[in-house]
Amino acid sequence: MNATSDILIIGGGVIGLAIAVELNLRGAKVTVLNRDFQQGSSLAAAGMLAPQAEAIPAGPMLDLCLWSRSLYPEWIRKLEQLTGVATGYWPCGFLAPVYNTPQLSNSENGHPEGKYGNNAPSALWLDRDAIHLYQLGLGKDVVGGWWYPEDAQVDNRALAQSLRLAVQELGIDFREGVEVEAIEPQGGFVCGVRTSAGEFQADHYVLATGAWFRDLLPLPVHPLKGQILSLKVPIDNHQPSLQRVIYGSGIYLVPRRDGRLLVGATSENVGWTPHNTPAGIHTLLERAMRLYPQLQDWPIQECWWGFRPTTPDKLPILGSSSLENLSLATGHHRNGILLAPVTALLLADLIVQQKSTPLLAHFHYDRFFHKSSRAPATQMISVSSNSRPTPVVQSDNSVLTESSTSQQLTIAGRSFSSRLMTGTGKYPNLELMQQSIAASGSKIVTVAVRRVQTKAPGHEGLSEALDWTKLWMLPNTAGCKTAEEAVRVARLGREMAKLLGQEDNNFVKLEVIPDPKYLLPDPIGTLKAAEQLVKEGFAVLPYINADPLLAKHLEEAGCVTVMPLGSPIGSGQGIKNAANIQIIIEEAGVPVVVDAGIGTPSEAAYAMELGADALLINSAIALAHNPIAMGKAMGMATEAGRLAYIAGRMPVKSYASASSPLTGTII
């Protein structure tokens, strides 16, 4: 066991370090665990402190950004005083040229600050003549632009170094090269973290792992890649060098006082794909030369890339979590350098003084859960091998709270009130299909994209037969023999869901099945297709043989569930591989859905008692003598199995044990 501290911060990018410094200055004993300083987005950034140029719409996020920008001068002064290291903070102002004259609304009246209300930060519209006069060397087709004098910049690499030095100066325990592998919850608290360097404990924990956040907590933070490069500005006594940031459309040019010009940045939803690419660099250079043509001859100095920590609504996740002593600080997307001081301030207020501003509420993690279906604390944290949901006993011994939430299933941030998924195939007719699904209580229904698209027998009018305002469609790639086919069909599935009104549905049940006799899935093709689909932004639910290693690889590839089969599809043989399914359940950080093979409600309940998060059952309902009754029975069995899992079964004993104790018996 490593030394305990008051507060343990996981992640040492600018966000983790800024919080560490602030907490230390308020008297806390702080430890920071960081896997790899070099990999952080904080070193990859451009260091712009530019809520106005970044065009953040009016609202809580803009308020937060403007607040943080206003904290910068004093925050930097304190840091530089502490470390003696310059951070390159430069209130240089931003020029934002445009190629088309914008239509200005009356309220803006020539100034965009109309949208900010009374506390408008300053901005000035410059017409064609004014902007070319103000900034020499702009592209000829620039027709005007905004001047934002209050937007500023900092050299983010110098800032990160300075924060590290400050941490050292203040005696904060900073452990570089330590990876946190799991957060260990117990009774609504974190009781420790398991790391590559052993166990660590603290009174309070802060999770600030940037784009890698989802490795430890199942909240929707994903990497958004940015490629960026720097040029060396030639020293030319006749040409004044750039003295302000030029922020164009899809491009920015950031002059540094050390003679570099940063040219950034792409914004690519390609998962964890590393490296600079010819296409990325080409796009940046093309846009940069249009904006400021003279840079075309300047030497390229360095190219690099980083992963912005991004959430679906592009807002950070700040504040408390479902665990009493765990705070969250991530999802800073394009503005983590800008937001470092305010994040540190708000988190320290919350942790040390239990003080929270109303503004913080807008960034709480629970916005990703419907109020009525918020995942219970034990589920929220079900991310590592030994942190699967454990039974919660209420202080009054009731299981009411847990049982009422035991039906909540959360996949990719979306919650469902039933843990039973159903299908649409093999029913005698559409009406029986509709009624059986309704009787089962299922909220997720899988649809074979190929069969619907080709109007295969029994699938005509199928997709229109269900009410997709009440059910969530899970398009599947049944019938695909290769990864390439499955990727193509998944894309069609997304379009199909859109056409049926589910605009934001990016789910796909991935099936790659080359073998027609046993219909067993191809593990290699499935992994390959999953990697591609995750890159394309799909929430992938892969159907697999019950192979724990494959399940882990798929999870690492970004799949949102794993779906091991109980026995071959449509066989009704029940759960033939319970031992492997159990290992998958123990090891998975994503929901485990047992798919295929379940023939009876007792088998459904058994799979749930093992700890499966959900089931997918089609044939056993559709081929029953009375599908509606069987649908209902399967729904009840799923619920009973889940409740039994939460309740915890009695121990198995070798010998009989009388139900009525003999003590006190009158002889």
Footprint of ligand FAD on this chain (CB under 6 A)? 10-16, 33-37, 39-42, 44-48, 179-180, 208-212, 215-216, 226, 228, 264-265, 306, 308-309, 330, 332-338
69 part of the interface to ligand GLY, by CB under 6 A:
no
Indicate the burial class of 371 (C-beta count within 10 angstroms; 0-12, 13-18, 19 or more). exposed
- What's the closest the beta carbon of residue 334 comes to ligand GLY, in angstroms? 3
What string marks each residue from 200 to 229 as x (binds ligand GLY by CB under 6 A) or -?
Answer: --------------------------x---
Q: Can you tell me which of 10, 21, 48, 262 binds ligand GLY, judged by CB under 6 A?
A: 48
Note every long-range contact of 61-66, with CB atoms under 8 Å and residues 24 or more positions apart, other chains counting. 61/314, 61/315, 61/362, 62/116, 63/359, 64/316, 64/339, 64/342, 64/359, 64/363, 65/335, 65/338, 65/339, 66/119, 66/121
User: Which stretch, 46-54, 201-209, 406-414, 555-563, contacts ligand GLY (CB under 6 A)?
Assistant: 46-54
- # of chain residues touching ligand GLY (CB under 6 A): 8
Q: Can you tell me which of 132, 225, 332, 334 binds ligand GLY, judged by CB under 6 A?
A: 334
Which residue's CB atom is positioned nearest to ligand GLY? 334
Query: Parallel, antiparallel, or unpaired: how do β-strands 202-207 and 326-330 relate?
Result: parallel
**Helix or strand (DSSP H, E) at 635:** helix 627-647
> What does the DSSP 8-state code read for residue 369?
S
CA distance 574 to 585: 17
- C-beta of 193 vs 471, nearer to ligand FAD: 193
Residues in the chain: 667
CA distance 261 to 46: 10
- C-beta of 343 vs 382, nearer to ligand GLY: 343
**Helix or strand (DSSP H, E) at 393:** none
- What's the closest the beta carbon of residue 267 comes to ligand GLY, in angstroms? 7
- What's the closest the beta carbon of residue 228 comes to ligand GLY, in angstroms? 7
The type of residue at 516 is: P
What string marks each residue from 567 to 606 as x (binds ligand GLY by CB under 6 A) or -?
Answer: ----------------------------------------
How many CB atoms lie under 10 A from the CB of residue 454?
Answer: 11
Q: What is the 3-state secondary structure (H, E, C) of 538-583?
A: CEEEEEECCCHHHHHHHHHCCCCCEEEECCCCCCCCCCCCHHHHHH
291 part of the interface to ligand GLY, by CB under 6 A:
no
- C-beta of 211 vs 628, nearer to ligand FAD: 211
Nearest Cα neighbor of 180 from 213, 150, 152 is: 213
Beta bridge partners of 255: 261
46 part of the interface to ligand GLY, by CB under 6 A:
yes
CB 142 within 8 A of CB 131: yes
Query: Which of ligand GLY, ligand FAD, none has residue 494 at its interface (CB below 5 to 8 Å by kind)?
Result: none
- What's the closest the beta carbon of residue 47 comes to ligand GLY, in angstroms? 9
- What's the closest the beta carbon of residue 148 comes to ligand GLY, in angstroms? 14
Give catalytic status of residue 509 as yes or no: yes
The catalytic position among 225, 443, 509, 528 is: 509
CA distance 521 to 534: 19
- C-beta of 334 vs 494, nearer to ligand GLY: 334
CA distance 329 to 301: 33
- C-beta of 37 vs 189, nearer to ligand FAD: 37
- C-beta of 205 vs 307, nearer to ligand GLY: 307
- What's the closest the beta carbon of residue 217 comes to ligand FAD, in angstroms? 10
- C-beta of 132 vs 225, nearer to ligand FAD: 225
- What's the closest the beta carbon of residue 345 comes to ligand FAD, in angstroms? 15
- What's the closest the beta carbon of residue 306 comes to ligand GLY, in angstroms? 9
Tell me which residues in 606-665 interact with ligand GLY (CB under 6 A): none
The DSSP result for 422-489, as a single string, is: EE-TT-SSHHHHHHHHHHHT--EEEEEHHHHHTT-TT-TTHHHHS-TTTSEEEEE-TT--SHHHHHHH
- C-beta of 208 vs 562, nearer to ligand FAD: 208
Buried b / exposed e over 379-389, threshold 16 CB at 10 Å, is bbbbbbeebbb
- What's the closest the beta carbon of residue 252 comes to ligand GLY, in angstroms? 7
SS3 509: strand
Q: For the chain, first and last CA: distance in Å?
A: 55
- C-beta of 323 vs 439, nearer to ligand FAD: 323
CA distance 608 to 602: 10
Q: Can you tell me which of 21, 23, 178, 265 binds ligand GLY, judged by CB under 6 A?
A: 265
Structure tokens at 337: 């350098």
Tell me which residues in 226-255 interact with ligand GLY (CB under 6 A): 226
Query: Which of ligand FAD, ligand GLY, none has residue 39 at its interface (CB below 5 to 8 Å by kind)?
Result: ligand FAD
- Collect all residues with Cβ–Cβ distance below 8 Å to 11 and sequence separation of at least 6: 32, 33, 34, 207, 208, 209, 210, 212, 330
Residues forming the active site: 509
Q: Which residues bind ligand GLY (CB under 6 A)?
A: 46, 48, 54, 226, 264-265, 308, 334
